[in-house]
Amino acid sequence: MKWNRSAGAPISVILAIVFPAMVGSALALAYFGYLYAEDVSRRMEAADRQTAWAEAGRLIESVEARVDGVTKELFDKLALPEEGRDAEGCEANTRPAADAFVMVRFNARARLEIICHNGPVTREDWRDTFLRSLDFASIQPGRFRFVHQRIDRQDALVAFMRKQTHNGKGYYVVLRLAESWVRQSVETEIATLAERRRVTVLDQRRRSVAGTLLSGPVPRKEERFLVERAFGKILYAWDLQLAPRDVETLQAQAERQRVLGPLLVILSTVIIGVGLVIVWLGVLAERRASRLKSDFIANVSHELKTPLSLIRMFGEMVATGRNKGPEAVKEYGGIITRESERLSHLIDNVLDFARLERGKASYHFAEGDLAELLDRSLDLCRYRLEKERLRLDGFIEPELPPVRMDENAMTLVILNLVDNAIKYAAEGGAVHVGITRRPGGVILWVRDFGPGIPVDERERIFDRFYRARNARDRNVRGSGIGLSLVKHIAEAHGGRVTVEAPTGAVQPGVGTVFSVHLPASVAERASLASMPSVTAPSSGSSP
């Protein structure tokens, strides 16, 4: 017993230390797992933005190369007529890339004068608006430059180039690029990213020039994945924005990674915790069962030792002639017989319980008279009842139906219940035993007038090795397996066993009623079903 407790205590201590440590470790893992998932999510977003930045750079280079190439072709095409036979002069067609152009030069007084112009822009508009902001002096011969202008609340992209005639005189060609052509050029290039990116181009007033990504404030969920990059030297007033086309999927994936890692850690911890709790409960149950088994062994040893000692002592007295005469020998023989029956009953209980534990209990059912079996069983108890000065009262209804039963097993049930009643009955009291009808069967009941059983223990007393507090407090001898056998046998017969205080009992000392509900044979059930139910007796009942 001491070994069991000392062995169980370290397990409890270990579990008490391991469980909080495990919970703390799980919380720490969940926290660092969340940080790791957050870091991975940020790295993924950073990698996506880096890729988008590179794609934006390639797209900008492609767009500007396209605009630069077409503009250079136009400048090569435009020249003063005196430059050669191939020069188209102001009659050249620059559409669709440019919707207007003008040729200008500085006169002797260093004033800018218009040589010729073509397109919808008037001479006055060229002179008073478009040409005013151009820095002609800073450009080298053969070079051209782009300027973004805003005139009358409209944006314009202007390109101008410095040229020279064959005799070294300088002049300038100014192109106004068509907005529709520039837009089309941009859209043609961004179409290459349409499958995986949403792209938009914003002008200097943050209006969408091309693409359909955003037309207003940036949504919060897209802001994390959005990349914005300015164009180069040609479309320098414009900005390019890129975002993943499946931004919702990326957002969900990032959130899933951020939550799933810590959640799995917590879930694993919960599972481990539940497992530890189950192990802990199993250890406690095993310790309790071990204590009950130890108590059982001690009780059985005592139960075996006492009758054996009496049998040996009185047997020696009879064998050696140490007695006071025939009456004493008769008394000694009665004691030996009584203790032998008691010893046999205890051994039968232990053997039957061992068979139940191994799952090898077998029963031989046959229809029989339960009342007759009860009379035979009570005859085995009369000597002990007389010794304990107890009165046995029987209440057996007439014309009871036959019951399909194993007679040996039912005898064991009756002996255990009566033995239990004798142990707790007050000296000079009574034990009531009876059989009553019920719909579909009969009730075998035994009542004692002892201290009773608390309500919270009425279910547990049928557990193996369990002994009620009254038995432990009053030091009543017993093995703790009798009622467990009664329950198993009753269930094997298709019935059940119940325990309750007598009807109307509110004070201790009125006893307990054990009732075994048994089904009648199949042929008798139909007739019994129509009969009124009769319950076990209440306090003070009599035949």
Mean pLDDT calculated for residue range 517-526: 69
pLDDT at 311: 81
Cα–Cα dist 227/242, whole Å: 5
* pLDDT at position 283 over 70: yes
Cα–Cα dist 452/446, whole Å: 13
DSSP H or E stretch at residue 156? strand 154-164
Cα–Cα dist 22/30, whole Å: 12
Cα–Cα dist 68/233, whole Å: 10
User: Which of 219-228 are b and which e, b meaning 16 or more Cβ less than 10 Å from the residue's Cβ?
Assistant: eeebebbbbe
**Tokens in use for 136?**
């002609």
* pLDDT at position 211 over 50: yes
* pLDDT at position 509 over 60: no
Cα–Cα dist 56/190, whole Å: 9
Decide the pairing of beta strands 208-211 and 197-202.
antiparallel
Cα–Cα dist 452/522, whole Å: 36
Find out whether 373 and 410 touch, Cβ atoms under 8 Å: yes
Q: What is the domain partition of the chain in residue ranges?
A: 98-177, 361-529
Find out whether 38 and 256 touch, Cβ atoms under 8 Å: no
The 10 Å Cβ neighbour count of residue 386 is 11
With cut-offs at 50, 70 and 90, classify the pLDDT of residue 21.
Answer: confident
pLDDT at 215: 44
In this predicted structure, which of 3-17, 253-267, 334-348 has the lowest mean pLDDT? 3-17
* Secondary-structure class of domain 98-177 per CATH: alpha beta
Residues 54-96 pLDDT 10s: 888 888 889 889 999 999 999 888 887 665 444 467 778 888 9
Report the SS3 class of residue 532. coil
Mean pLDDT calculated for residue range 248-273: 71
pLDDT at 221: 54
Specify the CATH number of the domain 361-529. 3.30.565.10
Q: How buried is 114 (Cβ within 10 angstroms: 0-12 exposed, 13-18 middle, 19+ buried)?
A: middle
Mean pLDDT calculated for residue range 24-42: 73
Of 295, 412, 417, the C-alpha closest to 344 is 412
Of 175, 226, 225, 176, the C-alpha closest to 202 is 226
User: Which of 394-419 are b and which e, b meaning 16 or more Cβ less than 10 Å from the residue's Cβ?
Assistant: ebbeeebbebbbbbebbbbbbbbbbb
Residue with the two structure tokens 């200097």? 204
Residues 294-303 pLDDT 10s: 666 665 665 5
Residues 459-492 pLDDT 10s: 777 877 676 666 555 555 556 677 888 888 898 8
Mean pLDDT calculated for residue range 422-446: 86
With cut-offs at 50, 70 and 90, classify the pLDDT of residue 6.
Answer: very low
Find out whether 399 and 371 touch, Cβ atoms under 8 Å: no
pLDDT at 543: 34
Of 470, 481, 464, 466, the C-alpha closest to 448 is 470
Cα–Cα dist 513/540, whole Å: 12
pLDDT at 471: 56
Task: For residue 232, give the amino acid letter.
Answer: G
When mean pLDDT is compared over 31-45, 287-301, 489-503, the highest value belongs to 489-503
* pLDDT at position 232 over 90: no
Average pLDDT, the chain: 77
In this predicted structure, which of 333-337, 471-475, 494-498, 520-524 has the lowest mean pLDDT? 471-475
When mean pLDDT is compared over 122-126, 253-257, 518-522, the highest value belongs to 122-126
Residue with the two structure tokens 């397109």? 119
pLDDT at 251: 66
With cut-offs at 50, 70 and 90, classify the pLDDT of residue 160.
Answer: very high
User: Which of 281-296 are b and which e, b meaning 16 or more Cβ less than 10 Å from the residue's Cβ?
Assistant: eeeeeebeebebeebb
pLDDT above 70 coverage of the chain, percent: 74
Mean pLDDT calculated for residue range 33-43: 74
When mean pLDDT is compared over 187-191, 208-212, 279-283, 536-540, the highest value belongs to 187-191
* pLDDT at position 41 over 50: yes
Residues 235-251 pLDDT 10s: 888 888 887 776 666 66
Find out whether 487 and 499 touch, Cβ atoms under 8 Å: no
* pLDDT at position 360 over 60: no
* pLDDT at position 533 over 50: no
Residue with the two structure tokens 């139960």? 303
With cut-offs at 50, 70 and 90, classify the pLDDT of residue 433.
Answer: very high
C-alpha dist (Å) from residue 415 to 22, 156, 169, 455: 53, 114, 138, 24
Phi, psi torsion values for 279, nearest 5 degrees = -60, -45
Q: How buried is 161 (Cβ within 10 angstroms: 0-12 exposed, 13-18 middle, 19+ buried)?
A: buried
- Matching fold, domains 98-177 and 361-529: no
127 vs 266, which has greater pLDDT? 127
Residues 400-417 pLDDT 10s: 889 999 888 888 889 889
Enter the pTM of the model: 0.45
pLDDT at 2: 39
Residues 90-134 pLDDT 10s: 778 888 999 999 999 888 788 888 888 888 888 888 888 888 888
pLDDT at 7: 45
Mean pLDDT calculated for residue range 322-341: 78
In this predicted structure, which of 249-253, 355-359, 528-532 has the lowest mean pLDDT? 528-532
Cα–Cα dist 30/33, whole Å: 5
Distance between first and last Cα of the chain: 49
Strand partners, 516: 444, 497
Residue 374, C-beta contacts closer than 8 angstroms, at least 6 positions apart: 394, 396, 414, 433, 435, 444
pLDDT at 319: 80
* pLDDT at position 376 over 90: no
pLDDT at 101: 92
* pLDDT at position 515 over 90: yes
Side-chain half-sphere CA neighbours of 156 within 13 A = 24
Q: What are the strands of the beta sheet with 208-211, ordered from one edge?
A: 208-211, 197-202, 239-244, 227-230
pLDDT at 39: 75
Find out whether 296 and 288 touch, Cβ atoms under 8 Å: no
Strand partners, 159: 146, 175
Cα–Cα dist 405/514, whole Å: 19
Residue with the two structure tokens 């009584």? 338
What is the distance, to the nearest Å, from the Cα of residue 319 to the centroid of all Cα atoms in its chain? Answer: 75
